[in-house]
Amino acid sequence: MEKKVYSVQGKEIKTITLSDEVFAREISEGSIYNAIKNELANLRVGTADTKTRADVHGAHQKLWKQKGTGRARMGTKQSPVWVGGGVVFGPHPRDYSYAMPRKVKQLAMKSILSLKAATDGFKLVENFTVPTGKTADLVKILKNLVALKEKTVIILKDDDEFFKRAARNLPWLSFLTFNRLRAHDLFYTKNLLVMESAAVNLSGFYSSEKSEV
């Protein structure tokens, strides 16, 4: 497929060809769902904890004798039926993370990229950086490409410390490198800006034979 490349001034400068396998393939909704679910599960801390009747502080003697009082029979104060007693089937610390098949995750990324490439929010941008590392300088560039304060993701060709420094103060902006994408960020963004080199790298990274599904 062919896509226009925009300059940092927001003007069309040329057209390049992208891999149909990565940017124009059939959408796999199931893989997208599973990739997002996996990422959210891996982010869970899993520190929630409750006390069982064995953990609750207090004496363990029988509250009153079994028979003859006219009241319901009762054991210890730690019973879950009492206020301050133990919790039945409550949460305990656990690891929610799990591994996802590599091919399914790659299919999810290609599906999301194809989904976004068909929308107006997808743009290829010439390679640029922010040598000053200032947020104001980055905003001057972005206002030519997207509506400011709309959720935006930029895919970079590699780690750029100056760009990261300029972007970290913008809560509506996220940045990813082409080989470390996040399905959740890509799927829920309003605008997706892909640097020209990153787009070429994506085509090679996801269209290789080892990543075919």
The structure's pTM equals 0.82
Give the domain CATH number at 130: 3.40.1370.10
- The domain of 37 spans 2-44+99-211
Q: At what angle do helices 29-43 and 102-117 cross, to 10 degrees?
A: 110
Q: Do both 61 and 130 map to the same domain?
A: no
Q: Do both 183 and 201 map to the same domain?
A: yes
Digits of tens for pLDDT over the chain (213 positions)? 888 999 999 899 989 988 889 999 999 999 999 999 999 999 999 999 999 999 999 888 899 999 999 999 998 999 999 989 999 999 999 999 999 999 999 999 999 999 999 999 999 999 998 999 999 999 999 999 999 899 999 999 888 889 989 999 999 999 999 989 999 999 999 999 999 999 999 988 887 544 443
Residues 6+ apart with CB under 8 A from 133: 161, 162, 165, 166
Q: Do both 30 and 133 map to the same domain?
A: yes
Q: Do both 17 and 118 map to the same domain?
A: yes
Q: Do both 82 and 183 map to the same domain?
A: no
Q: Do both 32 and 56 map to the same domain?
A: no
Task: Please tell me the predicted confidence (pLDDT) of residue 101.
Answer: 94
Burial of 139 (0-12, 13-18, 19+ CB in 10 A): middle
Q: Do both 53 and 154 map to the same domain?
A: no
Pick from 143, 109, 122, 86: nearest CA to 38: 109
Count of domains observed in the chain: 2
Q: Do both 161 and 181 map to the same domain?
A: yes
Backbone angles phi, psi at 100, to 5 degrees: -120, 140
Q: Do both 57 and 131 map to the same domain?
A: no
Task: Please tell me the predicted confidence (pLDDT) of residue 33.
Answer: 97
